[in-house]
Structure 1
Amino acid sequence: MEPPTGEDPLDALIPRLAAAYGEPRWLKFHFDDVGSAAGRAAGLADPAARVGTRDEVLTVGDYLSAYVMEWTLHHLDLIAHLPPPAAGPAAASAAGPPAETLAAARAALERIAGAPFPTSFSDEDALLVGTGRRVPTHAERDALCESAVRVPLVLG
């Protein structure tokens, strides 16, 4: 990913929003609060109902699935350059996404790809390689050559 150039008005907004929290714990509190409310709302929603966004109409289930994938990818981006978590309560904040979230995001990516990733790929590796966040290893490249998946998938 390229650093912001300053050309886009959002380039200035992101650092200001980040600075507004003052401390990482307040950002975590905000995401925990918003995430919990979103989870409760998602549980109450009719997955077959239709919603519109950005001139697209999709089911609530598909909309929520897209958000699970997006936020899982953002989570992976945020921890990409952090050391693996050590034991203890402070390390929990650097942990990766839960296994069920990784699996759901992989399933959504496979629906977009129109084919499953090789079973030799972990869910995290399928997401990272599939979205171009990581170059496949030689073994992964060989496995991809035998599958119907062509990477990276460009999501936009």
Structure 2
Amino acid sequence: MRAPERGALPLWLATTLGRAYGRVTEVVQGLSDEDFARPTRCSGMAVGPLLVHLLYDAERALAAFASPSAAAPDRDFVSYWKDFPPHPGGEDETAFVRTVASAYRRPSDGLVRHWRELSEAAVRAAAFALVDKDQRIETQGHVLRVQDFVATLIVEATVHHLDLVVDLPDAPEPDYEALQVTARTLDGLFGPEAWDVIAWDTTTYVLKATGRLPLDDDDLDLLGTHASRLPLIG
């Protein structure tokens, strides 16, 4: 079965980012302090440390929007992810975000408030930066057009939203359009010769293509030699 047509990136990417970050806020804002110790799909990271990881991503976004570049882009929203191994970060990053998370005595208040302030500021900065479609920014040693960079932020927020809710059954789902941006990115990494055979719904596609769900025997038969290429990103 051919994968559904994803189409181009949304026209109003800052709005999509705002909804993606806003859904994360919806997930965490009603949690008790004890809930921040619940497990996620990220090995070694409970809800609190994973939210810290996302918080630092929003902070990195603010730094990037304030770091325009005159250089030619060397990555777009798809090729950006080729620099990241399937299991990034490792023990050092996990230990760091766990330490930072533990510093919030009441994560349901302080950590959530810090996340909301930084994420909302990043969305406002994205909206301002996207006024100039030719603007380029520097981040993590690469130069991207601003719209490509915002798309990477949407992917990060959407995948980690799915990580956060694994033990939170009443949590809201990620934004539909943010899921489509994530799937469009995975399409670009996987290529039509591979994803033409995929029969998964979009959320399952994101979870399996990023290694969050294991491939079963039917998946292996469906994908054939393409199965060895998964996960596409961590």
Whether TM exceeds 0.5 here: the answer is yes
CA distance in 1 between counterparts of 2:117 and 2:198 reads 35
Counterpart of 1:24 in 2: which secondary structure?
coil
Higher relative contact order (CA 8 A, sep 6+): 2
Q: Of 158, 169, 176, which aligns to 1:84?
A: 169
2:44/2:94 contact within 8 Å kept: no
1:42/1:64 contact within 8 Å kept: yes
Q: Alpha carbons of 1:13 and 1:137: their partners in 2 closer, same or farther (altered >3 Å)?
A: same
Give deviations 1:69-112, integer Å, cap 9, x for gaps: 112111111212x1421xxxxxxxx3231222111111122122
CA RMSD of aligned residues (A): 2.9
Q: Of 210, 213, 224, which aligns to 1:134?
A: 213
Q: Alpha carbons of 1:138 and 1:60: their partners in 2 closer, same or farther (altered >3 Å)?
A: same
TM-score by length of 1: 0.73
How many matched pairs? 144
Q: Which amino acid aligns with 1:14?
A: V
Q: Alpha carbons of 1:141 and 1:18: their partners in 2 closer, same or farther (altered >3 Å)?
A: same
Structure 1 gaps, min length 5: 86-93
The reply to whether residue 102 of structure 1 matches residue 179 of structure 2 is: yes
Q: Of 104, 126, 133, which aligns to 1:21?
A: 104
TM-score by length of 2: 0.52
Counterpart of 2:144 in 1: which secondary structure?
strand
Counterpart of 1:58 in 2: which secondary structure?
strand
Q: Alpha carbons of 1:48 and 1:121: their partners in 2 closer, same or farther (altered >3 Å)?
A: farther
CA distance in 2 between counterparts of 1:125 and 1:17 reads 31
Structure 2 gaps, min length 5: 1-41, 46-89
Partner of residue 111, structure 1: 188
